[in-house]
Every structure is written in structure tokens, then in C-alpha cells.
Amino acid sequence: MPCTVIVGGFFGDEGKGKIAAYLAMRDKPDICIRGGNGPNAGHTVIHGGVQYSLRLIPSGFVDPSTSLLIGPGVPVDPTVLLDELRKTDSERRIEVDNQCAIVEPRHKEQESRSDHLSKKVGSTKSGVGACNAERALRMVKLAQQIPSLKPYVGDTVGEVQKALSENKKIMIEGTQGTFLSLYHGTYPYVTSKDTTASSACADVGVGPTQVDEVIVIFKAYVTRVGEGPLEGQLDRDEVARRGWTEFGTVTGRERRAAPFDFKLAKRAVQINGATQIALTKLDVLFPTAKGAQHIEDLDKGAKAFISEIEKQTGVPVTLIGTGPKEEDLIDLRTVSRSARIQAAPIVRRN
């Protein structure tokens, strides 16, 4: 912290929910604010033995003292939001920006009727793209016009700016992944807005100079749901053999998979201006890493993989996911660089 942005580095589904939940429990941010796109996103959080699939509420909800905000750049589907508020018991600490665009049922219908979106792009058909298009035409409804949202609507940008001026801790949560960005992704197989750190900041009304850390999240292998290119894609049997088979949080579709892509990782680090990398599911690649909480517990192969990521991207890997639970994680943020080099051994920047 104090102002940290977290974003996905590949095609979404990197484990942003897990990392955000860990950071919330560990760092106790005063505010967790959701930027990024709308309820087409799905963030999985396992907390207190319960699995939550969140599409709008910030994953930091796990810390009961954190204020939960949704920034004005995020399209909001009131049905999804109200359902999540109940499931997470967060009604008393949520604030939705009065300028959030509203996803209406007709947006979902519009996307379902479109062969281009359904068949070619492989959209989640959550209505988010149609809503963003309508916002660009300046015809969309805003949260301040919706009676069911009245108790939750406010000026989130004012809240965040006040917190920043008081040097409070803020976590900004982006969605999807860098290469699903409307600008930087594999167009047209992308989502309906930019998904990089700069946009996540703009979504919540935070300027570039107000950010301290940008954490880009990579999974130990690459997955992609929906259509579009995936370099090094493995066939289904091989994916299953490696234990990489996964299903989408929002649509339940089977994800395609490929080995970790160093070239894409480097580009994601650049585009997001990343200062740190969080690496998830290391235990899926290296089973001996399962549940590890210390770098010393990793075997040579796992350490070499981490070193290679640092070498090729020039950014330190500071958080390493070793299992689905919040506590299955190695946190190197407070470990000095020299200690980490000895433990890993980590190869330095190019």
C-alpha cells in the first residue's frame, strides 16, 4: 500500500480474487475500490471455508473493516450487485458511484442476439459491452437514476481523494487481463474497454501520480476462455494430464491453456507500469510447492522458474500463490532484495 493497483497480466482468470483477498486481510486497506469492467468479470475468493464468485463487489470484502467502493467507470448490473451484497453481507459498507453506467436486461438480450459477440468473440453476454457502447453514445442510465440502488449511491471519487489526502491505504482492483484490453489485447477477441492499470485508475478517479504500487498478476500457466489466439495452446488431453483444466467463473466454459508466456508477461509489465508481480498457482506447476509460505520451502525447479520471470520482465515476484486458500501464499514484499537473491537465487534485472 498506501495506494496499490492490482491487474491481470494475461487473459483474465489469473487469480486476482485470491491476491486481493490476501492483501486485504494482511494490509487492512481503508478502502477497496473496484475499477475495471463490469459483471462479465468473475473473481473467486475462498474465505472462512466458503467460496465466493464475485462479479462486482471488491474481493477485499473479506476484511470487515474495509470500505467497499465501486468507481464510476464500472458498469453495474443492479441484480448482480444486490445479490452479491446479500451473499457477502456488505450492505452497510458499500458505496456505488452515482455515475456508474447501468447494465439493463435489454443489454444482455442485445448481446445474446448478436452472432458476432456470441459466436465470433465468445462474449460472456453479460450485457457489459452493450452498456459501454450506450455510454459512449451518452444514452445509458446512471446509478443515481435507479431507486433500488439509492441507499448505496454516493461520490466514491470524493471518498477516495479524501482518503488519499489523509494518507490512508487504498487498493484498486482491476478486472479481466491485459490482453483482453480493447486497446492492447487481441482485437476483436477482447472485452469492451481497456483493462490495464491506467484505466483501472481512471475508472476510480485516481491520477497516475497518486499510485504507489502496481501489482500485475500472472498465473503459472496461461488460460483463455472464449475465442482468440493463444500462443502455445495445448490440446485438451495434455491440459488435463498437466492438471491445468479449469472452467470460467461466469460462464462455466472450459478454459484453453498454454505454458507461461514470458514475452506476453514482459509486455504486460511494461503496459501496466508494474512495480511487482504476483504469481499464482505455482503449486499446480510444482506440486512440492503446495501450501508453502516461505521461499525456502520451494524446490530448485520452482525457484528457477521464478528467477526466470524476474529476469525476463525486470520486475520482482513478491507474492506467490501456492494453493487456493488465502494463507497458501509466500509474501516476499518485506523480504529485502539481497535476502531474496540468496534464497532464490534470483537473477537481477536485465
Q: Which stretch binds ligand IMP (CB under 6 A): 59-67, 221-229, 314-322, 342-350?
A: 221-229
Q: Is 128 in the site for ligand IMP (CB under 6 A)?
A: yes
Q: Is 124 in the site for ligand IMP (CB under 6 A)?
A: yes
Q: Which is nearer to ligand IMP, 35 or 316 (CB)?
A: 35
Residue recorded with cell 524446490: 299
Q: Identify whether the C-beta of residue 210 lies closer than 8 Å to the C-beta of residue 233.
A: no
349: which 3 cell numbers? 534485472
Give the phi and the psi of residue 147 in degrees, each rounded to 5: -55, -40
CA–CA gap between residue 339 and residue 274 (Å, rounded)? 22
Q: Is 181 in the site for ligand IMP (CB under 6 A)?
A: no
Question: 153: which DSSP letter?
Answer: E
98: which 3 cell numbers? 452515482
Query: Using CB under 6 A, which of 10, 15, 20, 40 touches ligand IMP?
Result: 40
CA–CA gap between residue 193 and residue 182 (Å, rounded)? 5
Residue recorded with cell 507500469: 273
> From the CB of 128, what's the least distance to ligand IMP, in Å?
5
Strand partners, 224: 256
Q: Is 309 in the site for ligand IMP (CB under 6 A)?
A: no
Residue 43: active-site member: yes
Using CB under 6 A as the binding criterion, the count of chain residues that bind ligand IMP stands at: 22
Query: Using CB under 6 A, which of 126, 178, 272, 276 touches ligand IMP?
Result: 126
Q: Is 56 in the site for ligand IMP (CB under 6 A)?
A: no
Q: CA 115 → CA 104, 111, 178, 191, 252, distances in Å? A: 20, 8, 25, 16, 20
Q: Is 98 in the site for ligand IMP (CB under 6 A)?
A: no
- Give the active site residues: 13, 43
Contact footprint for ligand IMP (CB under 6 A): 12-13, 40-42, 117, 121-124, 126, 128-129, 175-176, 180, 189, 191-192, 225-227
